[in-house]
Amino acid sequence: MGIYTFDPSYQYALQLDKEDELASFRDEFYVKEGTIYLDGNSLGLLSKRAEASLLQILDSWKQFGIDGWTKGEHPWFYLSERLGDLIAPLIGAEANEVVVSGSTTVNLHQLVSTFYEPEGTRTKILADELTFPTDIYALQSQVKLKGYDPDEHLVQVKSRDGRTLNEEDIISAMTENIALIVLPSVLYRSGQILDMKRLTEEAHKRGILIGFDLCHSIGSIPHQFTEWDVDFAFWCNYKYLNGGPGSVAGLYVNKKHFHRTPGLTGWFSSNKDKQFDMEHTLTPADDAGAYQMGTPHLLSLAPLIGSLEIFKEAGLDRLRQKSLSMTQYMMDLIAHELKDMDFTIGNPLEDDRRTGHIYLEHQEAARICKALKENNVIPDFRAPNGIRLAPIALYNTFEEVWNTVQILKKIMVEEQYKKFENTRDVVA
């Protein structure tokens, strides 16, 4: 793509698409005709390769039965580790530090049960008040399991504006009674990117272990975990990585911690060579594979095989640059077309702090989202007043961004939203 300079015309949107070197990847996905899908930061679309790899695993079940664990193109027994190898470059980690296993919340429980070791005056976990609720629920549970009161021993850094976090405030909260820090890499509402490198350095200066929830950053922005020396991380694979609803999640453990026995162990924690010895003394794997517990869900692993092939071909750096261009273009169009309509852009404006979606705030947000859906634009509502719009670099176009803002303008001018109740649906 050429150098971006804003032009509000429709022809300019078409020109940006013409210059897009990633445009061909749109054909890899099942994009519903006549619909603009801007919710890929909640659930990515199905790709043809993900569909093919799922069918391939089904076929191996059909062809091999139980021998599918060790036979076929993708032997099941090793698939979680193999997919970890493919994901590792997306977070700047070594292959043996990553495994695809569990779910976001299960992996968080696993990692906190391992790394939260309250002792003496170091008994508290540091989190924040803007993180996704599941993280807080899990941390409260882990604090209770260690015999402490979450109201006192789970510290949540406050936001100054209700949208973002200030790294200075987080660092100030790294006091001598903090045993563990768990933070989001990206805030799920506003899309703010936290400075993971700086926060890790500051935590380690104080002798505190730190981990990150990557659900809203993996597959969207580059990470350099080896360079940053992050202790652990966890994430889902169904947003930007397009692994499908309920896709098996992932986790990262810094190799310097491989000597630890995971807090929660199971059969698949075993060293692969020892697993079928059926001993009642666990010999854990000597890498991140030890943090698995039960048998992997093969049919929910399978789509990732095809999806990660696409990421390897597209390249995360190129995807990030296109994403930044698309979100900047959307913000510029919003400022040009929707002024005086009471919208507030709630995401960071700077490239190094903004991830892959635009966060619009409006007092009629729930109604506006329903009107957008009626106009075949798929947004994401976040209570109480947020509209998330995610132009995904792999399958959205600049023309779709332009059309979305024009549709939004029409909804507001014609007051189409007033026919709907300003309440969220059961699933928002």
Give catalytic residue positions: 132, 213, 238-239, 388
Helix (H, G, I), strand (E, B) or coil at 330: helix
Residue type at position 74: H
C-alpha 418 chain-centroid distance: 33
Contact of 202 with 171, CB cutoff 8 Å: yes
Provide the sign of the torsion angle of the four alpha carbons 26, 32, 34, 37, taken in this order.
negative
**Range 82-90 contact pairs with CB under 8 angstroms and sequence separation of 24 or more:** 83/250, 83/301, 83/304, 83/305, 83/308, 84/250, 84/288, 84/289, 86/304, 86/308, 86/312, 87/218, 87/237, 87/241, 87/250, 87/308, 89/312, 89/316, 90/218, 90/219, 90/222, 90/223, 90/311, 90/316
Contact of 255 with 272, CB cutoff 8 Å: no
Q: Report how far residue 304's alpha carbon sits from residue 259's, in angstroms, rounded to the nearest whole number.
A: 29
Contact of 143 with 171, CB cutoff 8 Å: no
Question: CB-based burial of residue 170 (10 Å sphere; 0-12 exposed, 13-18 middle, 19+ buried)?
Answer: buried
Helices (H), 65-178: 79-87, 104-115, 133-145, 150-153, 167-172
Q: Report how far residue 169's alpha carbon sits from residue 2's, in angstroms, rounded to the nearest whole number.
A: 39
Q: Report how far residue 91's alpha carbon sits from residue 395's, in angstroms, rounded to the nearest whole number.
A: 22
* Binding site, annotated residues for pyridoxal 5'-phosphate: 104-105, 132-135, 213, 216, 238, 267, 295
Per DSSP, 118 falls in state -
Strand arrangement, sheet containing 344-345: 344-345, 358-361, 386-389, 380-382
* Binding site, annotated residues: 104-105, 132-135, 213, 216, 238, 267, 295
211-216-218-219 Cα dihedral, nearest 10 degrees: -170
Q: Report how far residue 425's alpha carbon sits from residue 428's, in angstroms, rounded to the nearest whole number.
A: 6
Angle ∠(236,240,243) on CA atoms, nearest 5? 60
Q: Report how far residue 237's alpha carbon sits from residue 53's, in angstroms, rounded to the nearest whole number.
A: 15
